């Protein structure tokens, strides 16, 4: 069965220069393990095609049941040079929650 | 065991200081540490300083302090603020002038030496490449367009100012969390190689540096469950000598402090959580534990630290063109199709008037201006209204202004049913951000601290 991440998790994004990070938070260990399996760096890179131009790294942070995604070339050059409405990438986190995964 | 209570102040230039009143009046805090400088803020301050060399600091800080000091002084509450921005000396003069005017006697400390713009040649001559730390690009590509270059300083000079008796410490660029670490070190007597304690201090500072983002603001979970955001409390930390900490907020305030609101803030703007690099300590966040111990109280323990990095981060900003932008709204039916048709008209006319752009962004507000290509097009045909927004990157203001002039005729000579033609938007200068690294020794030898009484 497929589920959208928004039904399972919450997330926050932040900006540093042209790099955005998104931390994805699981409610419990089962969901965390599911995220580790399904929400890979490669899937996130593909998900953000057209927004993120560079590489995506993933860090596992089990102590707070989180995955942290670091996305390079994500902010149209960075907030102070971006032409986008969401110059700071504050809503990239919600865009990640659109992803569907197999549960 | 000795402890210190610290209130989170502003999270950025333009944030509200009303919640700080509750922290002072009912939060029993000894310090307010206030972060006025996002990366973007230095760009804004640079524009101020270009207009007037006596500006370049965040102008909200003096009204904020004058409003808060009547509450703070009787309680002995001290302030640490990076509101000095690009011009901490000018900020100090403004503050000393205001304090004298109202007959308030306080010691004001100022930390100088973060700005390295004047010394870039010297740094390069000593063999520091100043290459872009993410892309590796050479600084020569932007060198003649640089407008500011500021190193992120650590907590040491701030501690020095507090040790000298400062009631208010004004800094320029320092690591955000260092604003919070400084009073912990000053009060709790931590050593500069107590890596785990310093790491705890940085984690606590990081949790507090974005005001309401730690207490239920911008919460990505069940946002409806957060009570009374209209009267949100900003975070307060109590930190003990051994580094353990509890995050809370003032009684009677809105918002929420729990595991979920704090773990969201823990990773805000964090890259590798094993190495959250600050000037004072290399922090490992993967050992942190957040435990809910009471309503709106979370214990933070377990951060571990490694020796401080040898290189300090510098962030420079350079002129990177000018943005022209224009907007116009279209109503149902076919709101999106009309806006798309209008975009085609404008694009043709841009070519015909010879508008030279380096980049064009077309967004449909109400449809995809925030999520871009990830927007769901399922209901695109039935939208009640859609705003067309076009933004262009141009070499100068004159060129960028041409875009706005193409929009008004659409009202009578484009697709039907417009609204929200809000007049032309001034072109805005764009700034590229240039993060780079330099050995700490070449930065730190220029740091100066002075404390003066009003």
Q: Examine residue B366 and state whether it is found in any structural domain, yes or no.
A: yes
What pLDDT band is residue A44 in, cutting at 50, 70 and 90? Answer: very high
Residue B293 covered by a domain = yes
The CATH code of the domain that includes B367 is: 3.30.70
Nearest CA in chain A to B432: A81
Say whether both B342 and B288 belong to one domain. no
pLDDT at B359: 97
In chain A, % of residues over pLDDT 90: 100
Q: Tell me the two tokens of residue A90.
A: 């504050």
B444 occurs within a structural domain: no
The answer to whether B39 contacts A72, with C-beta atoms less than 8 Å apart, is no
Assess: ipTM above 0.90. yes
Can you list the alpha helix ranges (DSSP code H) found in B80-125? 88-101, 120-125
Q: Domain check: are B344 and B198 in the same one?
A: no
Query: What is the model's pLDDT at position B422?
Result: 77
Q: From CA B218, how far away is CA B210, in angstroms rounded?
A: 10
The reply to whether B233 falls in a domain is yes
B284 and B183 fall within a common domain: yes
Minimal CA separation from B66 to chain A, in Å: 31
Domains in chain B, number: 2
For domain A2-102, which CATH number applies: 3.40.50, 2.60.40, 3.30.70, 3.90.120?
A: 3.30.70
Question: Domain boundary residue among B249, B282, B309?
Answer: B309
B309 touches chain A (CB under 8 A): no
Partner A contacted by B324 (CB < 8 A): no
Residues of A in contact with B325 (CB under 8 A): 83
Do B196 and B279 share a structural domain?
yes
The answer to whether the CB of A16 falls within 8 A of the CB of B176 is: no
Same domain for B202 and B157: yes
Domain ranges, residue B83: 3-114+152-309
Are B39 and A79 an interchain contact pair (Cβ–Cβ within 8 Å)? yes
- Report if residue B298 sits inside a domain: yes
Q: Is residue B416 part of a domain?
A: yes
Supply the pTM of this predicted model. Answer: 0.97
Q: Are residues B212 and B341 in the same domain?
A: no
A66 confidence band (pLDDT: 50, 70, 90): very high
Instruction: Report the distance separating Cα A35 and Cα A49, nearest Å.
Output: 20
pLDDT for B159 equals: 98
Judge residue A20's burial from the number of C-beta atoms within 10 Å of its C-beta, 0-12 exposed, 13-18 middle, 19 or more buried.
buried
- Chain A residue at shortest CA distance from B300: A64
Domain residue ranges of chain A, discontinuous segments joined by + = 2-102
The verdict on a CB contact (< 8 Å) between B433 and A85 is no
Asked if residue B141 belongs to a domain, the reply is no
Does residue B453 belong to any structural domain of this protein?
no
H or E element in which residue B410 lies: helix B410-413
Contacts of B273 in chain A (CB under 8 A): 59, 61, 68
- The verdict on A10 touching B (C-beta cutoff 8 Å) is yes
Domain match, B88 and B216 both: yes
pLDDT tens, residue order, chain B (454 aa): 999 999 999 999 999 999 999 999 999 999 999 999 987 788 889 889 989 999 999 999 999 999 999 999 999 999 999 999 999 999 999 999 999 999 999 999 999 999 999 999 999 999 999 999 999 999 999 999 999 999 999 999 999 999 999 999 999 999 999 999 999 999 999 999 999 999 999 999 999 999 999 999 999 999 999 999 999 999 999 999 999 999 999 999 999 999 999 999 999 999 999 999 999 999 999 999 999 999 999 999 999 999 999 999 999 999 999 999 999 999 999 999 999 999 999 999 999 999 999 999 999 999 999 999 999 998 899 999 999 999 999 999 999 999 999 999 999 999 999 998 878 899 999 999 999 999 999 999 999 999 999 9
Q: pLDDT value at position B46?
A: 87
B298 and B323 part of one domain:
no
What pLDDT is recorded for position B40? 75
- Does one domain contain both B241 and B328? no
Are both B79 and B205 inside the same structural domain?
yes
Quick one: B343 and B227 in the same domain?
Answer: no
Residues B159 and B301 in one domain: yes
């Amino acid at each position: 069965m497929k589920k959208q991440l928004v039904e399972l998790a919450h997330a926050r994004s932040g900006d540093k220069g042209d790099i955005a990070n998104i931390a994805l938070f699981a409610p419990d260990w089962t969901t965390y393990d599911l995220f580790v399996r399904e929400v890979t760096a490669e899937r996130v890179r593909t998900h953000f095609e057209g927004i993120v131009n560079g590489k995506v790294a993933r860090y596992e942070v089990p102590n707070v049941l989180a995955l942290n995604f670091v996305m390079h070339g994500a902010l149209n050059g960075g907030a102070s040079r971006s032409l986008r409405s969401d110059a700071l990438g504050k809503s990239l986190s919600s865009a990640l929650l659109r992803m569907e995964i197999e549960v | 065991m000795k402890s210190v209570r610290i209130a989170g102040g502003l999270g950025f230039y333009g944030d509200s200081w009303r919640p700080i009143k509750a922290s002072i009046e009912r939060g029993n805090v000894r310090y307010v540490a206030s972060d006025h400088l996002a990366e973007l803020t230095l760009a804004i301050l640079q524009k101020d300083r270009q207009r007037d060399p006596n500006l370049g600091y965040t102008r909200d800080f003096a009204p904020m302090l004058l409003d808060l000091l009547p509450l703070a002084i009787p309680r002995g509450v001290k302030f640490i603020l990076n509101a000095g921005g690009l011009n901490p000396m000018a900020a100090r003069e403004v503050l000393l002038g205001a304090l004298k005017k109202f007959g308030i006697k306080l010691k004001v400390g100022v930390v100088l030496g973060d700005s390295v713009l004047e010394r870039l040649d010297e740094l390069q001559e000593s063999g520091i490449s100043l290459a872009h730390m993410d892309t590796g690009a050479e600084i020569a590509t932007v060198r003649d367009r640089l407008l500011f270059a500021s190193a992120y300083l650590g907590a040491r000079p701030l501690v020095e100012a507090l040790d000298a008796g400062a009631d208010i410490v004004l800094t320029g660029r320092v690591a955000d969390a260092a604003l919070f670490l400084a009073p912990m070190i000053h009060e709790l007597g931590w050593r500069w190689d107590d890596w785990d304690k310093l790491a705890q201090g940085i984690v606590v500072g990081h949790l507090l540096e974005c005001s309401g983002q730690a207490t239920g603001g911008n919460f990505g979970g069940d946002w409806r469950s957060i009570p009374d955001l209209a009267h949100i409390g900003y975070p307060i930390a109590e930190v003990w000598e051994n580094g353990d900490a509890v995050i809370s907020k003032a009684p009677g305030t809105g918002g929420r402090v729990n595991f979920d609101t704090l773990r969201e803030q823990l990773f805000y703007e964090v890259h590798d959580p094993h190495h959250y690099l600050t000037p004072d300590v290399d922090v490992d966040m993967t050992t942190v534990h957040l435990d809910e111990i009471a309503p709106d109280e979370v214990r933070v323990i377990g951060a571990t630290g490694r020796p401080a990095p040898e290189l300090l981060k510098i962030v420079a900003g350079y002129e990177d063109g000018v943005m022209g932008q224009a907007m116009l709204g279209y109503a149902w039916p076919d709101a999106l199709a009309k806006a798309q048709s209008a975009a085609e008209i404008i694009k043709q006319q841009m070519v015909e008037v010879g508008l030279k752009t380096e980049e064009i962004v077309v967004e449909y507000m109400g449809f995809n201006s925030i999520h871009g290509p990830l927007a769901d097009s399922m209901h695109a045909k039935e939208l009640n209204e859609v705003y067309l927004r076009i933004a262009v990157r141009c070499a100068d203001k004159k060129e960028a202004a041409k875009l706005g002039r193409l929009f008004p005729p659409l009202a009578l000579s484009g697709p039907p049913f417009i609204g929200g033609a809000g007049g032309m938007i001034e072109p805005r200068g764009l700034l590229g951000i240039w993060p780079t690294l330099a050995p700490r020794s070449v930065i730190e030898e220029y740091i100066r601290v002075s404390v003066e009484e009003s």
